[in-house]
Amino acid sequence: MLRALLLENLHPLAASNLEAAGIDVTVRTGALDESELVEALQGVHLLGIRSKTNVTAHVLENAPDLVALGAFCIGTNQIDLRAAATQGVAVFNAPFQNTRSVVELALAEIIALTRRLTERDRALHDGVWDKSATGAHEVRGRTLGIVGYGNIGTQLSVVAENLGMSVVFYDTAEKLALGNARRMDTLDELLETADVVTLHVDGRTGNAGMFGAKQFARMRPGAIFLNLSRGFVVDYDALRESILAGHVAGAAVDVFPEEPKRKGDAFDSELRGLPNVILTPHIGGSTEEAQEAIGQFVSTKLRDYLTTGSTTLSVNVPNLALEQTTGITRITHLHRNTPGVLAAVNATLAEHGTNIEGQLLATRGDLGYVVTDVGSRVEPAVVEALAAMDQTIALRVLD
């Protein structure tokens, strides 16, 4: 029986979907460190994680049974995607399902910080009545600067405009501006224009440390700063200094360079205790609606890959959209993309009298993925010959 290991409190729908497909599912709370993960993955074919579990090359090299990995979140920087592909492990994530939840959190924090609700709330909890308009503003008419105009950034752009904000954005890739949003040619131009700066960049290594003292100094005096993207992209010591100096009027941070692995673990940050600062424990996508959608989406991708070989929206192997078929045997062959692989696969099948009913090939850089449907049982000699090819990375036969 195929086995799955689901970590980090995934939505129950993920387990039930896989169990309905006949997969034996083990659920564990919290993340695992490298050695714990290696031990836990013995005999496991599917792994489901969120952002706290790091799947390193060492883990993948020591998980010989692993076939597919699901990141039940947007980011995949916690996974060595290249090593996964090299080991024949397809990786899937949830690129869209928690977008709305992150956008709503960003909007709530923008309004709260601009109105200085954090300070008013703290004063009343301390028994102090502090009714004042000083430093409090409407968001209507103010300029929102979005750094990273992807799925989250674009949706935030549209909703912010509906609140009466002007929107400018900066992205290193060419992006279509939605609504009345204006593209800025440089990050500095955005920082000098925006009353609120919010980061929505991805986890690529090139973004590490992209926002520090220089960028905070470029921001307009009294501007608001948000980071709901990745903890390692911001120098939080520099943010602390900018807040204490009064240059940045408030901040909201949902992600940190080092985050506790389990609920209830101790947390510390240089941003604790600062005025008009909202700290949240990486909950941008943590709504029941988003987690249910993510659980459904990623578990379905994992199930479909196991049962049909479909790699649609995989982030590390060539993409092929495949459907369940009856009366045929399917051979999936992930390989190094060198000349002659397809011909060699077909020659092997022909040598053993195996008739091809249908075949699809996709490539992605130096990887290739060929799926062949045959109308008869695949003999062990065929499997042995295909597996023995120098270019073969992973071979599966689906009946």
**pLDDT digit string, tens, across residues 176-230:** 999 999 999 999 999 999 999 999 998 888 899 999 999 999 999 999 999 999 9
Q: What is the pLDDT of residue 316?
A: 97
Whole-angstrom Cα distance, residue 388 to residue 371?
A: 17
Among candidates 63, 67, 70, which has minimal Cα distance to 34?
A: 63
The helix, strand and coil proportions of the chain, stated in percent and rounded to the nearest 5, come to 35, 20, 45
- The CA dihedral of 145, 146, 147, 149, to the nearest 10 degrees, is -150
Per-residue pLDDT tens digits for 300-352: 999 999 999 999 999 999 999 999 888 899 999 999 999 999 999 999 999 99
* Angle CA 272–276–282, to nearest 5: 55
Residues in contact with 151: Cβ distance below 8 Å, sequence separation at least 6, in sequence order:
74, 95, 96, 99
Indicate the pairing of strand 367-374 with strand 392-398. unpaired
* 179 half-sphere exposure, CB direction, 13 A CA radius: 19
Q: 3-state DSSP call for residue 188?
A: helix
pLDDT at 262 over 90: no
Return the number of other C-beta atoms located less than 10 Å from residue 168's C-beta: 21
Parallel/antiparallel/unpaired status of strands 248-253 and 367-374: unpaired
Q: What percent of the chain has pLDDT over 90?
A: 92
Q: What's the confidence (pLDDT) of residue 321?
A: 96
pLDDT digits (tens, 9 = 90+) for 119-160: 999 999 999 999 999 999 999 999 999 999 999 999 999 999
Instruction: Identify the H or E element spanning 154.
Output: helix 151-162
pLDDT average, residue stretch 362-370: 97
User: What pLDDT score was predicted for residue 327?
Assistant: 86
d(CA 364, CA 317): 7
pLDDT of residue 199: 98
- Structure tokens given for 45: 């074919």
> Average model confidence (pLDDT) for the chain?
95
Give yes or no for residue 289 having a pLDDT over 90: yes
Q: With 90 as the cut, is the pLDDT of residue 75 above it?
A: no
pLDDT at site 80: 97
What's the pLDDT at 142?
A: 98
Give the residues across from 243 on adjacent strands.
Answer: none
Whether 236 has a pLDDT exceeding 90, the answer reads yes
Backbone angles phi, psi at 260, to 5 degrees: -55, 145
Does the global pTM surpass 0.75?
Answer: yes
The set of catalytic residues is: 230, 259, 282
State mean pLDDT over 50-74. Answer: 96
Cα 180 to Cα 173: distance, rounded to the nearest angstrom: 19
Say how many residues make up the chain.
399
Residue 43 pLDDT exceeds 90: yes
| pLDDT, average across residues 368-394 | 95
